[in-house]
Amino acid sequence: MVIRTSVCMATYNGALYIREQLDSILAQLGSDDELIIADDGSTDETCRIIESYSDERIVFVRNPTTLGHVQNFAKLISLARGKYIALSDQDDIWVANRLCRMLETLEAAPTFSLVVGDFAEINNAGDLTGPVHAMGPSPSWMFRQLILIFLGRVRYFGCTFMFHRDFKKYILPIPMAMDAHDVWIALNACIHGRIIHVKEVGLLHRIHGRNLTPPRRRSLPKVFRARVIYFLGISRSLFR
């Protein structure tokens, strides 16, 4: 069977919220879609909850060793069989019709590598906690966007991403030193394609203090080290 869309979800001790996220995703998948889940060594009920679903669209794997969220997403992307690939966190909620809207956007813009949607933040209870995170107009000059991402002036979140299968060859492998898969993917999209923004909220992004990718700002030394690593990685990516 030809797979249309692969949704890639990385999990680790996400039992508190994962059922709500699974339900919101599965409700939007067709029979020709798949939800690939890679668990990175959960010690709570995460795996039991996932295995309780009798859905042939779910592909569930357990990592034999802990990879960390960046390399776990790299593994998921490598396993994805779909023409389109979407990334998912374990504790968010997909707004109804999100998948359809993202697919329509990519199919209507075949020269774009990456589509990114707006999102709103929610708390533990699912209540909205702030204004919408709107990405604004799609960037027209990708070199300028690359510089803004590199400097941290524009932030992209992997849980809002969908991209073409052909883009995998530029993303993978993700260098082991990378500490943020979303920054790596966005930078490569600037170099090897274009980014388009969907100007509507398609995701409720849950912030609860135990996210795999914490929202807290990093120290300046860590930011500087990350930028050096990104620069070296992107420099190599230019010659792919």
List, for residues 109-147, the tens digit of each pLDDT value: 888 899 999 999 999 999 999 889 999 999 999 999 998
pLDDT in tens, 180-221: 999 999 999 999 999 999 999 999 999 976 555 555 555 556
Check residue 151 and give its pLDDT. Answer: 83
- Give 2's pLDDT tier (boundaries 50, 70, 90): very high
Q: What is the token pair recorded at 65?
A: 């060793």
- Indicate if the alpha-carbon torsion angle 126, 132, 133, 135 is positive or negative: positive
Q: How is the chain split into domains, by residue range?
A: 5-237
DSSP 176: T
Check residue 217 and give its pLDDT. Answer: 54
Check residue 211 and give its pLDDT. Answer: 54
Q: What is the DSSP string of 41-101?
A: ---SSHHHHHHT---TTEEEEE-SS---HHHHHHHHHHH--SSEEEEE-SS-EEPTTHHHH
Among 30, 7, 160, residue whose Cα is nearest residue 85? 7
> Alpha-carbon distance 18 to 31, whole Å?
21
Question: What's the CATH class of domain 5-237?
Answer: alpha beta
Taking the CA of residue 20 as centre, how many other CA atoms within 13 Å lie in the half-sphere pointing to its CB?
16
- Whether 178 has a pLDDT exceeding 90, the answer reads no
Specify the higher pLDDT residue, 148 or 227.
Answer: 148
